[in-house]
Structure 1
Amino acid sequence: MLIGIDASAGWIKTKTGAENYAKNLILALAKIDRKNQYILYSPGPLDADFGNLPTNFKIKILKYIKFWTHTKLAWEMFRNPPDILFSPSHVLPPLSPKKSVITVHDFAWKYFPEAYSKTSLWLQKVAVERAKRKKAQIIVYTQSTLRDLKKFYKISNSKISFVPMGFDRMHYQKIKACLPAGMACSAEIAGPYILSVGRLEKRKNTAGIIKSYLLLRQERKIKDKLVLVGKPGIGYGEIKNLINGADEIKKDIIETGYVNDKELRVLYSGASLFVFPSLVEGFGFPILEAFAAEIPVVTSNISSMPEVTNGAALLVNPKKPFEIAAAMSQILNKSALRRSLVLKGRSRLKYYSWENCARETLKVFESL
Structure 2
Amino acid sequence: MKIGIDGVPLTIPFPCGTKNYAQGLISALAKIDKKNEYLIFASQKVSIPKQKNFRFVQIPSFIPILKRQIFLPFFAKKESLDIFHYLEPFGSVIFKHPKIVTTIHDNNLNYTYPWVSKFLLKRLYCEFTKGAVINNSAALLVDSRTIQKEVKEYLKNREIYPMVYTALLGYNHHFRVIKKYKNRKSKFFLGMGDFAPRKNLVSVLKGYKLLPEEIKYSHKLKIISSTKESALRFRSLAEKYAISNNIDFLENVTQERLIKLYNEASCFLYPSLYE
Preserved CA contact (<8 Å) 1:199 1:232: no
Give yes or no for the alignment of 1:148 onto 2:150. Answer: yes
Match in the other structure for 2:246: 252
**In 2 relative to 1, CA 32–265 (structure 1 residues): closer, same or farther, beyond 3 Å?**
closer
The structural deviation recorded for 1:279 is 0.9
TM-score (norm 2): 0.78
Residue 202 of structure 1 is aligned with which of 172, 197, 201? Answer: 197
Deviations 1:139-180 (A, max 9, x none): 1122211111122332523314214223336358768599xx
Secondary structure, aligned partner of 1:74: helix
**In 2 relative to 1, CA 28–222 (structure 1 residues): closer, same or farther, beyond 3 Å?**
closer
Match in the other structure for 1:170: 174
Match in the other structure for 1:5: 5
Mapped partners of 1:63, 1:71: distance in 2: 10
Deviations 1:66-118 (A, max 9, x none): 23211211222454442322111223322231321111111252335424373
Structure 2, gaps ≥5 residues long: none
> How well do the aligned residues superpose, as a CA RMSD in angstroms?
3.3
Deviations 1:175-218 (A, max 9, x none): 8599xxxxxxxxxxxx5321101113422101111122122x23
Preserved CA contact (<8 Å) 2:30 2:49: no
Preserved CA contact (<8 Å) 2:139 2:163: yes
Match in the other structure for 2:132: 130
Amino acid at match of 1:38: Y
Mapped partners of 2:138, 2:91: distance in 1: 9
Q: How do 1:75-114 residues align onto structure 2 when only pairs under 5 Å count? A: 75-93=74-92, 94-114=94-114
**In 2 relative to 1, CA 171–138 (structure 1 residues): closer, same or farther, beyond 3 Å?**
closer
**In 2 relative to 1, CA 103–112 (structure 1 residues): closer, same or farther, beyond 3 Å?**
closer
Amino acid at match of 2:17: G
Secondary structure, aligned partner of 1:44: coil
Match in the other structure for 1:316: none
Preserved CA contact (<8 Å) 2:145 2:165: no
Preserved CA contact (<8 Å) 2:190 2:269: yes
Match in the other structure for 2:188: 193
Mapped partners of 1:75, 1:41: distance in 2: 11
Amino acid at match of 2:97: P
Secondary structure, aligned partner of 1:203: helix
Mapped partners of 2:261, 2:34: distance in 1: 38
Amino acid at match of 1:195: L
Preserved CA contact (<8 Å) 2:2 2:83: yes
Match in the other structure for 1:347: none
The structural deviation recorded for 1:6 is 1.5
Q: How do 1:51-90 residues align onto structure 2 when only pairs under 5 Å count? A: 51=50, 53-55=51-53, 57-65=54-62, 66-67=64-65, 68-90=67-89
Secondary structure, aligned partner of 1:170: coil
Structure 1, gaps ≥5 residues long: 179-190, 282-368
Match in the other structure for 1:23: 23
The structural deviation recorded for 1:134 is 2.4
**In 2 relative to 1, CA 255–128 (structure 1 residues): closer, same or farther, beyond 3 Å?**
same
Amino acid at match of 1:229: I
Mapped partners of 1:84, 1:8: distance in 2: 17
TM-score (norm 1): 0.60
Preserved CA contact (<8 Å) 1:177 1:266: no
Give yes or no for the alignment of 1:270 onto 2:274. Answer: no
How many residue pairs align between the two structures?
Answer: 262
Mapped partners of 1:156, 1:233: distance in 2: 41
Secondary structure, aligned partner of 2:212: coil
The structural deviation recorded for 1:2 is 2.8
Q: How do 1:303-318 residues align onto structure 2 when only pairs under 5 Å count? A: none
**In 2 relative to 1, CA 91–245 (structure 1 residues): closer, same or farther, beyond 3 Å?**
closer
Deviations 1:25-83 (A, max 9, x none): 22322333355443322323331x522x244x433222333232112112224544423
Mapped partners of 1:256, 1:22: distance in 2: 22
Residue 221 of structure 2 is aligned with which of 210, 223, 226? Answer: 226
